[in-house]
Structure 1
Amino acid sequence: MPAKPDLAKYKTIVLDCDGVVLNSNQTKVDAYFNTAKRMGGTDAQAQAFVDYHIKLGSIPRNDKIRHYITDIIHQPLTPELFQAFMDTFTVILDETLMQCQVAPALHELKAATSQAKWMLMSGGDQDELRQIFPRRGLDGLFELGIYGGPTKKNEHLARMIADGTIQFPALFVGDSRFDHQASTGAGLDFIFVSDWTDMPDWETYCKQHHVTVCHHLEMSLNEAFPSI
């Protein structure tokens, strides 16, 4: 069983966005469904888009949209059609990301881990995140920067470990299978945040892989507990 983590030891803390910093997983689900519908899809096609999004977890949306076009609606993947889907998704998502809940006590957690530098790393679009977080007054929490798609998290981690941006010991706080696999594969410790995740059967996964779990982001300080 994993021991409760000592957050005071970390030099770098990397946080996922959806389901960790923002309560936005359902927001993303709705955006995928509504994008498919607005672009002429049936309810069944829109639900297949959602199912693929949930299956892939934190993979950037570019890959999911390509899959939807080629494998769900069986259309040629032209640059124009791909961009139309990307633009539609962005318009639908922007307003809801400005309204969704921020993790309670986020600033208190930042103050309590003042020895560490923070970084945001998301499967969401990087340019979009770098617009949303300043508008929500959250960008100042992440002195190491805000990173997202289309670059995958494991690729970001490899580059920033190589150039020294990420200093060890380092911790990744996420809510998906890919978060766990990408971070531990890169040598970071990992905490799974459960209450806002949309990962199916996360309890079984965390137990099988001995993942430390906490209910909320702010509980990572004192109430993280071994996998159930």
Structure 2
Amino acid sequence: MFFDFDGVVLESGNIKTDAFVELYSGSGIEEQVREHHLAHQGVVRYEKFKWISENLLKQEHTEEMGLELGNRFSELVKGKVLAAPFVPGFREMITFIRQQNIYCVVASGTPQEELREIIINRKLSPFFDEVYGSPREKAEITLEVMQRKQFRKEDCLFFGDASTDHQAAEQTNVDFFARLTPELSDYWENAPYKYGALDFSKMQ
């Protein structure tokens, strides 16, 4: 099993959306920033910073600017993510999955060091055999684990709430479980997926 993190494990998707908007508060592009972030959930934050600088602010983007924005972003979200509740039903679902000795991997767009720190602080380590974040792409992570562990694609399932999660599943030919958030309702209307639900509360 492969899992995205924000919006799948914890209800932290909106926390990061609000943080993106707050970073650009007073710039006049707040709504465009929100729309871009929601359309590219799961994309590495540094890629979004670069796109916003070049396409919305019409200015040159440097690595130093990206690092500064990344540090400010982490400061805005870290405490809130550590306090975020579980997506309804997730804890019960993952507990059942682990009781069946099913291998579980996190493949997230969150920077890997930050992600692993959150996993440890939220005492989630027993739920996951491997935890990976950016800069590696989700499809790359999924394929590498499948090949190394010799998992057949028909035995794998990717749980996600973003277009990048869905695309990673398509690129690796594994089935997809869509967490159907209202923010991406237009996307899910047109995206093919095998399973989907508003949350995991009815999966026990």
- Partner SS, residue 98 of structure 1: helix
Structure 1: runs of 5+ lacking an equivalent: 1-12, 222-228
Counterpart AA for 2:20: Y
- Between structures 1 and 2, the one with greater helix share: 2
Instruction: Determine the structure 1 residue equivalent to 2:101.
Output: 115
Residue 15 (structure 2) pairs with residue 27 (structure 1):
yes
Residue 45 (structure 2) pairs with residue 57 (structure 1):
no
Task: Give, in whole Å, the separation in 1 of the partners of 2:151 and 2:80.
Answer: 31
Instruction: Determine the structure 2 residue equivalent to 1:154.
Output: 139
Instruction: Determine the structure 2 residue equivalent to 1:9.
Output: none
Give yes or no for contact 1:176–1:197 (8 Å, CA) kept in 2.
no
Instruction: Determine the structure 1 residue equivalent to 2:118.
Output: 132
1:189-208 aligned within 5 A: 189-194=175-180, 196=181, 198-206=183-191
> 1:138-169 deviations in whole A, cap 9, x for unaligned?
122111x1111222211212222232375551
Give yes or no for contact 1:21–1:217 (8 Å, CA) kept in 2.
no
Which of 67, 72, 75 pairs up with 1:83?
Answer: 67
Residue 202 (structure 2) pairs with residue 219 (structure 1):
yes
Structure 1 residue 175 displacement after superposition? 1.3
- Partner SS, residue 192 of structure 1: strand
Task: Give, in whole Å, the separation in 2 of the partners of 1:91 and 1:189.
Answer: 35
Give yes or no for contact 2:40–2:162 (8 Å, CA) kept in 1.
no
Give yes or no for contact 1:66–1:77 (8 Å, CA) kept in 2.
yes
Give yes or no for contact 1:175–1:197 (8 Å, CA) kept in 2.
no
Identity %: 23
Instruction: Determine the structure 2 residue equivalent to 1:36.
Output: 24
Give yes or no for contact 2:112–2:135 (8 Å, CA) kept in 1.
yes
- CA RMSD across the alignment: 2.0
Give yes or no for contact 1:193–1:213 (8 Å, CA) kept in 2.
yes
Give yes or no for contact 1:25–1:197 (8 Å, CA) kept in 2.
no
Per the normalisation by structure 2, the TM-score is 0.88
Number of equivalenced pairs: 201
Per the normalisation by structure 1, the TM-score is 0.80
> 1:24-53 deviations in whole A, cap 9, x for unaligned?
12111101011122xxx51x3222222111
Counterpart AA for 2:121: R
Structure 1 residue 115 displacement after superposition? 3.0
1:156-175 aligned within 5 A: 156-164=141-149, 166=151, 168=153, 169-175=155-161
- Partner SS, residue 29 of structure 2: helix
Give yes or no for contact 1:61–1:149 (8 Å, CA) kept in 2.
no
The 1:97/1:166 distance shift into structure 2, 3 A limit, reads farther
Structure 1 residue 91 displacement after superposition? 0.6
Instruction: Determine the structure 2 residue equivalent to 1:70.
Output: 54
